[in-house]
Structure 1
């Protein structure tokens, strides 16, 4: 099942995508459950999917404004250098542990919303990635049990301001500018995805393929990431792990290719759909 977060008539809500439109799930499964994060935390995804399958769509995409899949994530934990092609193009050494940094929830945008090139830099870069949405939280999660803690998967574009990323050895200043973390268009529940490793991941810039890999290429696969991360911080329902980008980023091309107003970036991950975002300058807001 495909789940979305949205704004309708000035209020936030959630729904399921079905043939012909959207089934509104806001307050329908339980009156107090009015967000996708709350639905996941209550372990009601299966019940919500059954509810949606039994009903005709009541909304069309034009009736809602999409939000990032989990707009209110408590933690957004991002992984760097997690494809060999990207590690090689950055000329960084092999690593025993994942490279981790964080992104803030208020830096995120939805499918269709513009990625924002900030006034302080012209070095906005794309990074097509797969996001993992945590279902059942925990601490010290065993690697062999880790996938049972996943609620679903989605596309992510971890837009990066490259010069700010390099101000110090810490990545975060370049990784959480407003309007740079695109997340959507929907979450596909884990039971519908099956083996995530079979998914292809491609990024297109103005229609041209610039990144092309499969999720089997991850250096640190999803179970190992969950086990590692949950050792140093407890994971909670609705937390998001952004798993890393393949080689082909604009910053490492010769000459470099940075995003500019009018560009359109697409991140396509098999049945997770295609996340599409135009690019605009901060001054155009």
Structure 2
């Protein structure tokens, strides 16, 4: 199943994507759908009625207002190697806030304060049930599905201190979408190709199988620290190929088109605006 959130004249609406058509659902967004009751999957699958064409819809972030956005750094083995960091023993966690999120074709707003904006293609996990101290099958079952994200980062702000948050959550910098895709459609995202193209040039190409900590381990680890709620979003790290590791470093500029794609999940196309 594929679920998305689109903008309307009255706000937003959740929808089920079937090919080129979208069936509106009785929820204002995907996060609200997940939070409404444990039977969200059956309710979404059973909904019938009028459809609207996907073409022309104004897509919001797949989950516009998550209560938590938790991110994992240094989680792809080749990315760890290119940064020169030691391999972490535990997931490296930081956070974002909901105002950072944008839709699948919204502009990435490059902040005037930063001169070192960088791309990071990422698999995002969306939580589908309340979960605390999950293990194994329980952690897998807590995942509603997966979507595409780009953790666009202000490297100059990120490097100011040992804490990364200030470089990671500028407003309107993190595309999320186009749709939440349930795990049965993509093999639980165990081995999907992930790419990032900037201005038509492929900058990142990796596979989710290169993760140091796969999604269920991340859910297990985080849920041992804080209760995860339906609609919470976890960004799971980026593969090698970031601009900051190039010689000389490459930065995002106004007008750049950033295309982020994960096999089976979809593509984000976001133009940078200064």
Q: Same fold (TM over 0.5)?
A: yes
**Pairwise CA RMSD:** 1.4
Contact 2:29 2:64 in 1 (8 A): no
Could you tell me the TM-score, scaled by structure 1's length?
0.92
Deviation of residue 51 (structure 1)?
A: 2.8
Task: Name the count of aligned residue pairs.
Answer: 273
Q: In 2, distance between residues paired with 1:48 and 1:209?
A: 39
Q: What is the CA–CA distance in structure 2 between the aligned matches of 1:170 and 1:20, rounded to whole Å?
A: 43
Q: In the alignment, does 2:55 pair up with 1:61?
A: yes
Q: Is the 8 A contact 1:138 1:236 kept in 2?
A: yes
- Supply the distance in 2 between the matched residues of 1:196 and 1:60 (Cα, whole angstroms): 24
CA contact (8 A) 1:19 1:57 kept: no
In 1, Cα distance between equivalents of 2:54 and 2:75 = 37
Q: What is residue 170 of structure 2 aligned with on the other side?
A: 177
Structure 2 gaps of 5+ residues are none
Q: Is contact 1:129-1:242 (8 Å) kept?
A: yes
**Cα distance in 2 between the residues matched to 1:70 and 1:122:** 29
User: What secondary structure, in the 3-state scheme, does the structure 2 residue paired with 1:69 have?
Assistant: coil
Q: Which runs of 5+ in 1 are unaligned?
A: 28-32
Maintained 8 Å contact 1:135/1:151: yes
The answer as to whether partners of 2:96 and 2:165 remain within 8 angstroms in 1 is: yes
State how far apart, in whole Å, the 1-side matches of 2:77 and 2:68 are: 26
Indicate conservation of the 8 Å contact 1:132/1:153, yes or no: yes
Distance in 2 between residues matched to 1:134 and 1:154, nearest whole Å: 11
Structure holding more helix per residue? 1
Question: Residue 130 of structure 1: which of 120, 123, 128 is its match?
Answer: 123
Aligned to 1:4: 4
How far residue 198 of structure 1 moved from its aligned partner, in angstroms, is: 2.1
CA contact (8 A) 1:5 1:70 kept: yes
1:231 matched to 2:215: no
Residue 251 of structure 2 is aligned with which of 252, 258, 268? 258
1:30 matched residue in structure 2: none
CA contact (8 A) 1:22 1:61 kept: no
Give the ranges of 4+ consecutive aligned residues of structure 1 lying more than 2 Å apart after TM superposition: 43-52, 54-61, 190-195
Residues 168-177 or 202-211, more deviating: 202-211
CA drift of 1:55 comes to 4.6
Map residues 144-163 of structure 1 onto 2, 5 A cutoff.
Answer: 144-163=137-156
Aligned to 2:133: 140
Q: Which of residues 29, 46, 51 is equivalent to 1:35?
A: 29
The aligned residue for residue 191 of structure 2 is: 198
Note the C-alpha offset of 1:56: 5.5
Choose from 83, 87, 100 the match for 1:107: 100
Q: Per-residue CA shift, 1:201-259, capped at 9, x if unaligned?
A: 11111222111111111001111111110111111110011000011100110111100
